[in-house]
């Protein structure tokens, strides 16, 4: 069978790599190509467009790069038509992938969506488009199946793939050489240029308070130019493309809201969640998000309460960051409560094996 897969971000590349690995084990004749990153390339996926060219964050940034995005739509459609897949597999990246789903449906392609769009948070009107354009939806958050099924969307929940990725890492850990033996305070500022520019300077300033007791380690990504990591004047270490290694040794962390907050929780790393974006983009987002959505981080959303403090926009400043870090950087009731909530969160995610279960269903669907 032939599978065309579209992942547009680092987290999508991770989940796409684990999914395609399982598909290849089940379908020995599988031909897989699409859009993704280095992790998908490592699984022998023919990547026709790399994610480093695709990460546009926020309404304003999307508008500024609209011509590039439109060219990407045209290119992707052309590549799909040339490849003639048995199924189009979409991974997260909803702004792009939902439009591709509508087009693919017009071409009578089988459309499978893995890691479903978070339309329960905003743009619920998109549910009708998903019902119309997506044949099978595989969400990864436990409450999403019930939400989508209310709207008669063909939905199957098999657990969260991060558990497999983390368990696989823990079975094959690697050693990190760091300058000192002091406990690690990790900084995870994100994988997009805009995130890095807004988050890293604040994280560096806040973490400076703890340099006498902790070594500060920044989780960098090779997707971004290294010169963007301006750490001049700070006693910190850069660790590139080794976020799991970093989480495995970190005692505490400042983490940009996103997949990394859930990864930190699954590694049992107490964290302060940070987020700052373009003011206009946030203003628009807040008017689109339903009032019932109280949190932005996955760790808090899944549990349904604030187990980790979220510092968003104006609240993200050095004073607030250090105040919150003081509560969890050393043994304390706040730190212990957060760790116990992490254990409950793990149980909610359905255990290991999600990528294999989803891959099995995809192969079954494509062979029908």
Tens of pLDDT, residue by residue over 73-92, are 999 999 999 999 999 999 99
Same domain assignment for residues 109 and 211: no
Same domain assignment for residues 103 and 182: no
pLDDT for the residue 290? 52
What confidence tier does 64 reach under pLDDT thresholds 50, 70, 90?
Answer: low
How far is it, in rounded angstroms, from Cα 353 to Cα 337? 28
In a domain, 167, yes or no: no
Over residues 49-62, the mean pLDDT reads: 66
Q: What share of the chain is helix, strand, coil (3-state, %, to 5)?
A: 50, 15, 35
Same domain assignment for residues 80 and 201: no
Same domain assignment for residues 110 and 256: no
Same domain assignment for residues 208 and 92: no
In a domain, 164, yes or no: no
Phi, psi for residue 216 in degrees, rounded to 5: -95, 125
In a domain, 109, yes or no: yes
Per the structure block, which two tokens stand in for 119? 């339309």
- Domains identified in the chain, total number: 2
CATH code, domain with 285: 3.40.50.2000
Per the structure block, which two tokens stand in for 34? 């699409």
Which letter, b or e, does each residue of 299-321 get, where b requires 16 or more Cβ atoms within 10 Å of its Cβ? bbbbbeeebbbbbbeeebebebb
User: To the nearest whole number, what is the mean pLDDT of the chain?
Assistant: 89
In a domain, 271, yes or no: yes
| Angle of helix 94-106 versus helix 126-133 axis, rounded to 10 | 40
Burial class (CB in 10 A: 0-12, 13-18, 19+), 172: exposed
- Strands (DSSP E) contained in 169-309 are 184-188, 215-220, 236-240, 250-256, 271-275
Same domain assignment for residues 178 and 246: yes
Per the structure block, which two tokens stand in for 154? 């063909």
Same domain assignment for residues 187 and 140: no
Same domain assignment for residues 67 and 189: no
pLDDT (tens digit per residue) in 149-192:
889 998 999 999 999 989 889 888 888 889 999 999 999 999 88
Domain that holds residue 315: 172-348
Same domain assignment for residues 25 and 133: yes
Which letter, b or e, does each residue of 131-144 get, where b requires 16 or more Cβ atoms within 10 Å of its Cβ? eebbbbbbbbbeeb
Same domain assignment for residues 324 and 361: no
pLDDT (tens digit per residue) in 195-244:
899 999 999 999 999 999 999 999 999 888 888 998 999 999 999 999 99
Same domain assignment for residues 143 and 238: no
In a domain, 278, yes or no: yes
Same domain assignment for residues 251 and 341: yes
Q: How far is CA 306 from CA 48, 279, 311, in A?
A: 40, 23, 11
């Amino acid at each position: 069978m032939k599978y065309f897969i579209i992942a547009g971000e680092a987290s999508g590349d991770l989940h796409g790599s684990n999914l395609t690995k399982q598909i290849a084990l089940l379908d020995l004749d599988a031909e897989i190509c699409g859009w993704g990153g280095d992790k998908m390339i490592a699984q022998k996926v023919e990547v026709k467009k790399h994610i480093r060219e695709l990460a546009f964050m926020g309404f304003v940034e999307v508008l500024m790069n609209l011509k590039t995005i439109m060219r990407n739509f045209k290119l992707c459609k052309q590549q799909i038509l040339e490849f003639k897949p048995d199924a189009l597999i979409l991974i997260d990246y909803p702004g792009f992938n939902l439009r591709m789903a509508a087009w693919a449906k017009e071409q009578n392609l089988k459309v499978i969506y893995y890691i479903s769009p978070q339309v329960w948070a905003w743009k619920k009107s998109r549910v009708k488009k998903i019902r119309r354009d997506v044949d099978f939806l595989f969400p990864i958050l436990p409450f999403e199946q019930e939400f989508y099924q209310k709207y008669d969307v063909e939905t199957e929940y098999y657990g969260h793939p991060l558990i497999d990725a983390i368990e696989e890492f823990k079975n094959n850990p690697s050693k990190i050489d760091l300058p000192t033996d002091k406990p690690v305070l990790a900084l995870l500022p994100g994988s997009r240029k805009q995130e890095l520019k807004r988050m890293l300077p604040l994280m560096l300033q806040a973490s400076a308070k703890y340099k006498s007791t902790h070594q500060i380690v920044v989780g960098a990504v090779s997707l971004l130019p290294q010169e963007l990591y301006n750490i001049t004047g700070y006693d910190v270490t850069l660790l590139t493309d080794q976020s799991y290694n970093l989480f495995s040794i970190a005692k505490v962390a400042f983490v940009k809201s996103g997949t990394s907050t859930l990864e930190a929780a699954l590694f049992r790393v107490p964290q302060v969640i940070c987020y700052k974006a373009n003011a206009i983009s946030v203003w628009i987002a807040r008017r689109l998000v339903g009032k019932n959505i109280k949190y932005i981080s996955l760790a808090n959303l899944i549990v349904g309460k604030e187990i980790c403090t979220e510092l968003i926009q104006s609240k993200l400043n050095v004073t607030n960051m250090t105040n919150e870090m003081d509560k969890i950087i050393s043994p304390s009731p706040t730190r212990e409560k957060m760790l116990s909530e992490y254990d409950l969160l793990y149980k909610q995610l359905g255990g290991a094996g999600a990528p294999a279960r989803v891959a099995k269903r995809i192969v079954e669907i494509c062979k029908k």
